[in-house]
Amino acid sequence: MDDYDEEPNKPGPITPSERREYLNNAFMAEDACRWKDMVENITKIAESVESMTMDERNAFATAYKTYIGTKRTSWRTIVDIESKFDSINRKRDLCKEYKAKLEEEIKKECNDVIQIIDKHLEISTDVENQIFYLKMKGDYYRYLSEFDLDKPKDPVFERSRKAYVDGLILAKEHLPASHPLRLGLILNFSVFYHEILKEHNTACDMTKENVLLCEEDLLHSHHNVTNRSDSEIILQLLKDNLKVWSTDLEDQTCQ
């Protein structure tokens, strides 16, 4: 039998026409809210090309975020239902079984995404792409860490933090303070500190600092602020989080 170096299940190259068809199918699936179909089509591109275009990259992020996001919502719903039953209730056992099933699905899909991200991150020479993929990598390790909050030594915590830190270093060096990608990274990183690591002061300080930097940049910058409306939307989300988190910290201090 001949030896083959190629991985048996590794996707082969796709033609330009196939690439366009997969992307169009992904967009059609998005319009129809068929997230699994969108994932399947955009993954065929992601696994078969060296570098995704911006449209492909954004579709890749949207497809997985929404597809996995619906399962994360289902998981949180089951957790809430489970908490309402006592330990000897059969329905609580059913909740545990279904929750475990969802966790396995989410873990597999998150790891699939991370594997694709690593492939494109390793070969990307565009700094904005690198920041984009590092932010995504931080996000999907953060999703994995939600299942291990009782295991603070699990490597997913450090992997998420490192991806965010590496992305933030590049963002501060190469992107203005009001850039939507930089703001989105700050938003998700601060959520990681607040919700996962429970470092509430760090989350508040990071958010406050970058809100001020962004407002200053929008007000006085001499460069053209790209996607200004996107920046303002994320800026408002940061402000909303800061308001809620600051109030929570004040309440804890008063107790």
Helix ranges (H only) for the chain are 16-31, 35-46, 54-82, 90-123, 127-145, 155-174, 180-191, 200-220, 228-254
Q: Which residue has the higher pLDDT, 227 or 212?
A: 212
Q: Which residue has the higher pLDDT, 156 or 254?
A: 156
pTM for the model: 0.89
pLDDT above 70 covers what percent of the chain? 91
Q: How far is CA 44 from CA 12, 97, 213, in A?
A: 10, 32, 39
Res. 225: pLDDT tops 90: no
State the Cα–Cα distance between residues 88 and 62, nearest whole angstrom.
Answer: 41
Collect contacts of 192-201 with beta carbons under 8 A, ≥24 apart.
Answer: 192/138, 192/142, 192/160, 192/161, 192/164, 194/241, 194/245, 196/142, 196/145, 196/146, 196/149, 196/157, 196/160, 197/157, 197/161, 200/245, 200/248, 200/249, 201/249
State the Cα–Cα distance between residues 14 and 62, nearest whole angstrom.
Answer: 22
Res. 19: pLDDT tops 90: yes
Contact present, 189 and 172 (Cβ < 8 Å): no
For the segment 78-90, the average pLDDT, to the nearest whole number, is 86
For the segment 85-107, the average pLDDT, to the nearest whole number, is 90
3-state secondary structure of 101: helix
Report pLDDT for 150. Answer: 82
**Tens of pLDDT along 198-213?**
999 999 999 999 999 9
Q: How many CA atoms lie within 13 A of 41 on its CB side?
A: 22
For the segment 166-187, the average pLDDT, to the nearest whole number, is 96
State the Cα–Cα distance between residues 6 and 12, nearest whole angstrom.
Answer: 10
Report pLDDT for 192. Answer: 97
**Domains of the chain, each with CATH number or no CATH:** 12-123 (1.20.190.20), 125-255 (1.20.190.20)
Cβ count near 214 (within 10 Å) = 24
Contact present, 161 and 128 (Cβ < 8 Å): no
Report pLDDT for 88. Answer: 75
For the chain, count helices (H), then strands (E): 9, 0
Mean pLDDT of the chain: 91
Contact present, 196 and 142 (Cβ < 8 Å): yes
Res. 226: pLDDT tops 70: no
State the Cα–Cα distance between residues 122 and 131, nearest whole angstrom.
Answer: 12
Report pLDDT for 89. Answer: 80
Which region holds residue 198: left if phi is over 0, alpha if psi is between -120 and 50, else beta?
A: left
State the Cα–Cα distance between residues 252 and 255, nearest whole angstrom.
Answer: 5
**Tens of pLDDT along 98-122?**
999 999 999 999 999 999 999 999 9
* pLDDT bucket at 1, cuts 50 / 70 / 90: very low
Taken in order 48, 104, 62, 134, the sign of the CA dihedral is: negative
Tokens for 43, please give them: 């993954």
* pLDDT bucket at 3, cuts 50 / 70 / 90: very low
Q: Which of 155, 157, 71 is nearest to 108 (CA)?
A: 71
pLDDT above 90 covers what percent of the chain? 78
* pLDDT bucket at 90, cuts 50 / 70 / 90: confident
**Tens of pLDDT along 24-41?**
999 999 999 999 999 999
* pLDDT bucket at 4, cuts 50 / 70 / 90: very low
